[in-house]
Amino acid sequence: MEKVLVINPGATSTKIAIFSGTRRIFLKIIEHGLEDLARYEHVIDQFGYRYNLLLSALADAAIALSDFDAVVGRGGMLQPVESGTYEINRDMIEDLKLASRGEHASNLGALLADKVSGDYGIPSYIVDPVSVDEMDDVARVSGLSDLPRVSLSHALNGKAIARKAARHIGGRYESFNIIVAHLGTGVSISAHRNGRMVDVNNAQEEGPFSSDRCGTVPSYRLAKMCFSGRYSEQEILNKLMGSGGLSSLLGMKDVRKIEELANSGNKDADLALRALTYQIAKEIGALSTVFNGKLDGIAITGGLAHSDRIVKDIVSRVEFLSRVLIFPGEDEMASLALGVLRVLRGEEEPKKYKGTCKIEKPA
C-alpha cells in the first residue's frame, strides 16, 4: 500500500498526516505561538523553524522518513496553473521564495516537501494550489481594462468536493456541471464544467462577504474613501480583508456566537446572517448561467456548512436550480494525499510547473 506524507502549513499551525493508501493513519497538528512567529519578518523566514518542528514531531512518533513513497505539500501563491498534481521543481521553489503573488503560509508547503525530498530521496508534489486558473476567457473580463479578474480560490477543496459530488450524482467529475460553494474564512464559489473550474470569485476581492472579508463593495465610494485622506493604504487593505465582512458589520467574526445572538433576538446579527446567505445564494444563481441552466448539482462545503441555519437559508433559495449536496468542513489533508495517489497509481500524469503561466504537458 502506498505511503504518503502530507504537509499543510497554515497561518498558526503546521499539519502533518500520513496516509496508507486512502486511509489516514497519523495526524499531528503543530501549533505556532504568535510570539514565535513574530520573530520572522517574512513568511519564508519561518522555513527552518517549521522544518525542525516537523522533523521532531515525526521523530517523537518513531516515524522514519525513508519509508515513504511520496511527500506532498500544500500549494501556495504560484503563477496561474491548470488543476492537477505537480512535481516540485526549481522554478516552483524560486517563485515561492520570490512571493510575487503574495506572502502566505501555504507558500511553505512546497518548500518543506522539497526539503524532505532532498534529504530522504522521496518524490515530492503539490496538488491544486490556490492559483489554479482554468477560467474561460470571457470570465476574465471586468469593466476596467486595468483590472482583469483573477483566479485565486480554495481550489484544493473545491476540486475535491466537485469530484465527491460527481460520485454522489453517479459519474465522473469530467462528465458534469457542478457549482461548489466553499464557505470558510473566505467564500469562493466556483463553476466546474466537464472537469475544469471555468469561473470562480477571488475570495480576496470579490463575491459574497465572509467573516472578515468584504467581498464585492461599491467601487465608486471605495475609490472616494481611498483618497479621502482619512486612511493609509494598509488601513484600506485591512478593511477589505481582515476586518471586513461580519467583523465590520458586528465587531465580531465568530459565526457560532453571531448565530447565538441572532437566535436570541439580536436584529443586527440576524440581518447580517441573512445578508451573508443572500449574497452566497445570489452568487450561486449567477454562476448557474455559466451552464445555460444545465446544472447537475450544487455542493456546499467549508466550515460554515456545519451551520444548519446557514445551509437551510442558502438551500431554500437555490434548490430550484438543481440538487444540493452538503459536505460540511474540509479535508485538505486527504485531498492532497488523493492527488498524489492518482499519480502513483497511474491514473493521471504529474505536471511540470514552468512559472509565468507555462505548463509542460506530459509526453
What pTM does this model have? 0.89
- The pLDDT of residue 361 is above 80: no
- The pLDDT of residue 110 is above 90: yes
Q: What is the pLDDT of residues 28-65, one digit of tens each?
A: 999 999 899 999 999 999 999 999 999 999 999 999 99
- The pLDDT of residue 4 is above 70: yes
Which has more confidence, 356 or 22?
A: 22
User: How much is the pLDDT for 12?
Assistant: 86
Q: What is the pLDDT of residues 126-158, one digit of tens each?
A: 999 999 999 999 999 999 999 999 999 999 999
Q: What percent of the chain has pLDDT over 90?
A: 90
Alpha carbons 234 and 265: distance in angstroms, whole number? 36
Residue 17: what are its φ and ψ, rounded to 5°? -135, 155
Please say whether the beta carbons of 76 and 96 come within 8 A.
yes
Q: What percent of the chain has pLDDT over 70?
A: 98
Averaged confidence pLDDT in the chain: 95
Among 8-12, 137-141, 281-285, 357-361, name the one with the lowest average pLDDT. 357-361
Question: Residue 356: which pLDDT band, with cuts at 50, 70 and 90?
Answer: low
User: How much is the pLDDT for 362?
Assistant: 47
Question: Residue 11: which pLDDT band, with cuts at 50, 70 and 90?
Answer: confident
User: How much is the pLDDT for 358?
Assistant: 44
Q: What is the pLDDT of residues 231-270, one digit of tens each?
A: 999 999 999 998 999 999 999 999 999 999 999 999 999 9
Pairing of strands 187-193, 177-183: antiparallel
Alpha carbons 11 and 34: distance in angstroms, whole number? 10
User: How much is the pLDDT for 104?
Assistant: 87
Please say whether the beta carbons of 202 and 153 come within 8 A.
yes
Query: In the structure grid, which three cell numbers stand for residue 62, read together?
Result: 518513531
Q: Count of residues for the chain?
A: 363
- The pLDDT of residue 331 is above 90: no
- The pLDDT of residue 357 is above 80: no
User: How much is the pLDDT for 363?
Assistant: 44
Alpha carbons 41 and 284: distance in angstroms, whole number? 39
**What are the structural domains, with CATH classification, of the chain?**
3-134+332-360 (3.30.420.40), 155-328 (3.30.420.40)
